[in-house]
Amino acid sequence: MNIARLNPKLMVVGDSLPQGCRSLTVRASLCAQSWPARLAAAQGWDFVPPDHPWEVLFDLEQEIRRLNPILVAPSALSLVGLPERILDNLNLWVAATPKSLHQSFDNLAIAGSEVHHMYSGSWNTFFRQVQAHLRTDLAAQLDHFSDLHIAINGQYVLNPQKVADFDDFAPLDWVERRQPEMLVVHSGHNHGLFKFGFLGKNQSITQGEYNGKNYFQQWQEVAERIARLPAAVERVVIVLLPKVSAVAALQPVSDLREDGYPEAYRVRLLPTSLKIDRSVVVQADAQVREVNSTIRDLFIEAANATQTAHRLVFVDTYQAFDAIDYKNRLNETARVRVNASQFIDNRYLDGELDFAAPQGKRLKAGGYLSIDGMHPSGAGYADLACRVMAELNLPHDRDAIMQHAFDQDRLLSNYPLELDALLNYVDVLRPFNDANWFATDSPDRLRDHTHFSQAIKQLAKLFTQ
């Protein structure tokens, strides 16, 4: 078994956040702009992200840009043609058997994955998952597209050249064979945390067993595997869970604040006036802090057993998100500077016409997070990369990185007013939903007439099931 590119500078395992997912979307250009890729580029390191030949099943931002912000009306608030485009994309992945020029990637994070996938997910396991669903008619796969998304993405990320010797390699198997100088571990968001932030569902953020192991036992397995890595792995960076109240998908109902929280929140992307009480969100943040403390303890305990605790570095993402939490604190110093005239923050995206701007429109609020209100934007990921580099004492030009990331992300630099039109109508529909004149429950399958809010709820199942 000949494994190429041993001892790379950096490797990454985890879920959608380190993979670079934005607006629920995974594609090569986004992976190339992930926060680990930004870090590697700033250091001049060779770093190979996944080079998917196509987006994985859909591109939400592109779907929204297909709409006409002038002509869009409540009766036309559906992403017409989306089901057919998803099926066409699925057929490409199934029929074309794409292969990369690379034997393996340095970023092995997989959107939608859970903690155990770092040691259990392989080309073979994902292949079986795809085949199990493809036994039925292709059109019926819309019922299972979230399962297919993680499986198709996982297959390509873990064995991009389809070499039989690597069919059973999980992310940590690749790490053990290739032995990077630095390993980033960034996972754990898909056990209830994403669902709470996106849908406002009050539940545990440590859900989900695998082979009899609960959330923390899965983390323990990961920590023990990493603790046994050889000395060639000089640094292990564990990125903890973020402050969930800081996501843009949870929108404050007013400007009144008590101890940094509004009286209540609503779900931004769904046409419901259901309010999530302040106490529920405060408790969710407290749970995140408790979970982070336990994850930290598990890694330290495992590392102490192998005398490798010296190489552990913990990135407190809760604290990082708290520092930029303008939405909740309404403190101008929390806004993130791109340049002297452009700032971003963690409110939901909002744009405006500006004929003096190059594109005739500009971002006026939000911008730290992408359309789904959960994953960072290109500039949000760049800010995270800079914060990690500061934690690691790595040199970097923050101003240049932030400006480049903002310019690269068309969601920010060429803001789609179609999104504002959609959200205005979502707001119009809230009272109709309260009167039971509008059904917000998602249908079992995406259809051309599926309302935008129902469609995005379906697309987000990758992270909320």
Q: How many residues in the chain? A: 465
Does position 78 have pLDDT exceeding 80, yes or no?
no
The model's confidence at residue 73, banded by pLDDT at 50, 70 and 90, is: low
Residue 131: φ, ψ to 5°: -65, -35
Average pLDDT of the segment spanning 378-404: 99
Q: For the chain, how many structural domains are there in total? A: 1
Of the candidates 194, 247, 198, 187, the one whose C-alpha atom is nearest the C-alpha of residue 221 is 187
In a domain, 2, yes or no: no
What pLDDT shows up at residue 414? 92
Six token digits for residue 130: 């795809």
4 in a structural domain:
no
> Residue 423 — very low, low, confident or very high, per pLDDT cuts 50/70/90?
confident
- Residues 251-275 have pLDDT tens digits of 999 999 999 999 999 999 988 768 9
Please tell me the predicted confidence (pLDDT) of residue 353. 63
What strand order describes the sheet that includes 182-186? 10-14, 182-186, 235-239, 312-315
Question: Per residue in 321-341, pLDDT tens?
Answer: 999 999 999 999 999 999 999
**DSSP-assigned beta bridge partners for residue 265:** 252, 276
Bridge pairing between strands 342-344 and 336-339: antiparallel
Assign residue 343 a region: left if phi > 0, alpha if psi is -120 to 50, beta otherwise? Answer: beta
Q: Is the pLDDT of residue 72 over 60?
A: no
The CA-atom distances, in angstroms, between 124 and each of 25, 115, 127, 164, 363 are 24, 18, 5, 10, 44
Position 210 in a domain: yes
Q: Residues 103-125: pLDDT tens digits?
A: 999 999 999 999 999 999 999 99
Q: Which residue in 85, 18, 100, 11 sits closest to 55, CA to CA?
A: 85
Contact at 8 Å (CB) between 213 and 219?
A: no
Domain of residue 378: give its range. Answer: 10-464
Residue 3 in any domain: the answer is no
Residue 1 lies in a domain: no
Q: How far apart are CA 265 and CA 251, in angstroms?
A: 5
Choose among 321, 292, 318, 463: nearest CA to 380: 321
Give the model's pLDDT for residue 39: 99
Q: Which residue has the higher pLDDT, 395 or 352?
A: 395
